Amino acid sequence: MNRMLPRMAPALAAAQLMRVHSAGVAFPVALGALIALAGAAASAVAGVPWTRVASVAFMPLYSLAVGMGAVALLSGDALVELHGSTPIGVRAVWTTRLALLALAAAAGALVMFAPLHALGVVYGDIGWASALSPVGGAVALALAAYAAVAVLESPRAAAFFVVFAWMVLSFFWDPNLAGDPVLQRAVPLAVALTAAAGAWLSLGSPERACAKAVGAR
Amino acid sequence: MRFLRMALVHARIAARQRALWAASAALCLLSLAVMVNGGMPFESGDVFDLAFFAQVLAMLPPIAYAAACTDLASSPARLGIGEVEKAAPVASVVLAAARVTGTLAVVLLPSLALLLFCGFGQLAHGNLLGPLQALAMFVLVVAPAALLAAAMSALAGAALPRAFARIAAAAAWLVVLALTSFVGVPEAGGGVHLEIASDPALQALFGLPPVLNENVAWTVAPASPLAAFASVAGRVAFAVVLLAAAGALSRARGRRR
């Protein structure tokens, strides 16, 4: 492992934060607040039972937005060779960026969940443990985007893959496990972490990283 | 002939990415898996199941096309080869159309293959026109929907910054789906039940009921052939307009740089 990395970590995080602050950090939190506002307005206009059923359609959109934003921010960077030529390396930069995106996604999911939970319009709500569902979903899709960008060859293929993962998660996995948020999120997070670990290993070779979607393709 | 050769070049570029084939095939198989509770379209002789599958293929995979094709119109300006394209002896509209056609042809091949497979399955179960019906459904329902999703994506990619284009295009396609594909059927005890509306072209050609649920008895006049033609032609025309706007917008922005 790079011996300089612990000393450079705060500067690395600050540089990546400057790179992604508007679309990667502010946008997920703002989107979470917007969905919460829309849910509150719908429950005031159309009543709580209808909004609870409609929340099944609106809450997965947050994780899709997080996944698409992660694909857009992690792919197509023209400076990949530059990162690879410094002692820090491509892998540390991309993992820092992913960590910031995942943290912002989790924060935005909590911002979205808390007002809707207080109003009682979350479908299959079993208390604060249900927060694991939007938070885990957003983080899993961010990890899937990281894995897709590091392994596939173009941002278009990475976007295809992330939408496919979102569809499997939202249309097939979630509705069948609606009352058990721990199992509902444990398996997707385990799969996403495994994929991200494989991507982390693959990014260790800068030549291979420059040929994938992390570069300017 | 020249247009076909240009489209073939773009198709070959898109076909080189094995990940696109895998993801596209996976999306089509996912659309098939949606029907696993009802009847699978290749093990029944009913054209209704084939039409249901064609409509699911026109609703779900285009979410991915909308999210993925944001660089269709803006790639020459972004890559800096806009001037090279303008210097070519071909109109830039034709170049853009060849790029869209070539890429979409590769992306839609798994859908066509799976739909034809279901058509031949129906042939084995008594529906003698199965493969022809599958081909007609692909041309009338699946391909225009994919073209419209790709056109929305190209416009979002040309108009918005790269970080927001994919989300905006996917959200726009989901809004279009919510507004056009669902219809409220009045229930016996009052209240309204949401059902998937069947495509007007399929209603006129194959005599489908107005909603994709055989258990709902809703007496509404089926779509006339004029409405069917208007729906298909309107979608293609709207997609062409969006693609032209995306091309013009990306050329104007490229000039300002």
Task: Please check the confidence at residue A209 and state whether its pLDDT lies above 90.
Answer: no
Residue B223 lies in a domain: no
How far does A149 lie from chain B, in Å, by closest CA?
11
pLDDT in tens, B21-33: 999 999 999 999 9
Residue B180 CA neighbour count, 13 Å, CB half? 14
Mean pLDDT of chain B: 87
Residue B127 lies in a domain: yes
Helix (H, G, I), strand (E, B) or coil at B182: strand
Sort out which chain A residues have CB atoms less than 8 A from B69's CB and list them: 156
**What's this model's pTM, rounded to 2 decimal places?**
0.92
What is the extent of the structural domain holding B35?
2-180
Task: Please check the confidence at residue B213 and state whether its pLDDT lies above 80.
Answer: no
Task: Please check the confidence at residue B88 and state whether its pLDDT lies above 90.
Answer: no
CA angle A40/A43/A47 to nearest 5° reads: 170
Residue B131's pLDDT is what?
Answer: 92
Of A186, A172, A28, the closest CA to residue A108 belongs to A28
Average pLDDT over residues A37-46: 90
Instruction: Please answer yes or no on whether B68 and A61 come within 8 Å at the CB atom.
Output: no
Interatomic CA distance for residues B130 and B118, integer angstroms: 8
Task: Please check the confidence at residue B35 and state whether its pLDDT lies above 70.
Answer: yes
Average pLDDT over residues B175-180: 89
Instruction: Please answer yes or no on whether B26 and A73 come within 8 Å at the CB atom.
Output: no
Band of residue B60 on the pLDDT scale cut at 50, 70, 90: very high
pLDDT in tens, A143-200: 999 999 999 888 999 999 999 999 999 988 988 888 788 888 999 999 999 999 999 9
Average pLDDT over residues B155-164: 90
Amino acid code (one letter) for A120: G
Residue B7 lies in a domain: yes
Residue B202 lies in a domain: no
Interatomic CA distance for residues B48 and B137, integer angstroms: 12
Higher pLDDT residue, A138 or B75?
Answer: A138
A-B interface: how many C-beta pairs under 8 angstroms? 84
Residue B57's pLDDT is what?
Answer: 94
Residue B145 lies in a domain: yes
Asked if residue A195 lies in contact with residue A161, where contact means CB atoms within 8 angstroms, the answer is: no
How many other C-beta atoms are found inside a 10 Å radius of the C-beta of residue B108? 22
Residue B208 lies in a domain: no
Interatomic CA distance for residues B205 and B208, integer angstroms: 8
How far CA A46 is from CA of A40, A50, A51, A54, B128, in Å, comes to: 10, 7, 7, 10, 49
Higher pLDDT residue, B73 or A70?
Answer: A70
Residue of A nearest to B103 (CA): A156
Task: Please check the confidence at residue B43 and state whether its pLDDT lies above 90.
Answer: no
CB-nearest to A153 from B19, B26, B171 is B19
Task: Please check the confidence at residue B256 and state whether its pLDDT lies above 70.
Answer: no
Helix (H, G, I), strand (E, B) or coil at B195: strand
CB-nearest to B166 from A154, A159, A161 is A159
CB-nearest to A163 from B64, B164, B171 is B64
Average pLDDT over residues B193-215: 82
Band of residue B153 on the pLDDT scale cut at 50, 70, 90: very high
Instruction: Please answer yes or no on whether B167 and A69 come within 8 Å at the CB atom.
Output: yes
Residues of chain A contacting B, Cβ within 8 Å: 22-24, 27, 61, 64-65, 68-69, 71-73, 76, 152-157, 159-164, 167-168, 171-172
Higher pLDDT residue, B92 or A94?
Answer: A94
Q: How many structural domains is chain B composed of?
A: 1
Task: Please check the confidence at residue A217 and state whether its pLDDT lies above 70.
Answer: no
Task: Please check the confidence at residue B13 and state whether its pLDDT lies above 60.
Answer: yes
CB-nearest to A72 from B24, B34, B166 is B166
Tokens of A85: 């030529």
Residue of B nearest to A151 (CA): B19
pLDDT in tens, A18-34: 988 888 899 999 999 99
Instruction: Please answer yes or no on whether A154 and B17 come within 8 Å at the CB atom.
Output: yes
Judge residue B37's burial from the number of C-beta atoms within 10 Å of its C-beta, 0-12 exposed, 13-18 middle, 19 or more buried. exposed
Residue B21 lies in a domain: yes
Residue B194 lies in a domain: no
* CA B242 from centre of chain: 14
Interatomic CA distance for residues A80 and A93, integer angstroms: 9
Band of residue A216 on the pLDDT scale cut at 50, 70, 90: low
Higher pLDDT residue, B169 or B78?
Answer: B169
Instruction: Please answer yes or no on whether A73 and B163 come within 8 Å at the CB atom.
Output: yes
Task: Please check the confidence at residue B78 and state whether its pLDDT lies above 90.
Answer: no
How far does A203 lie from chain B, in Å, by closest CA?
18
Instruction: Please answer yes or no on whether B67 and A159 come within 8 Å at the CB atom.
Output: yes
Interatomic CA distance for residues A71 and A202, integer angstroms: 17
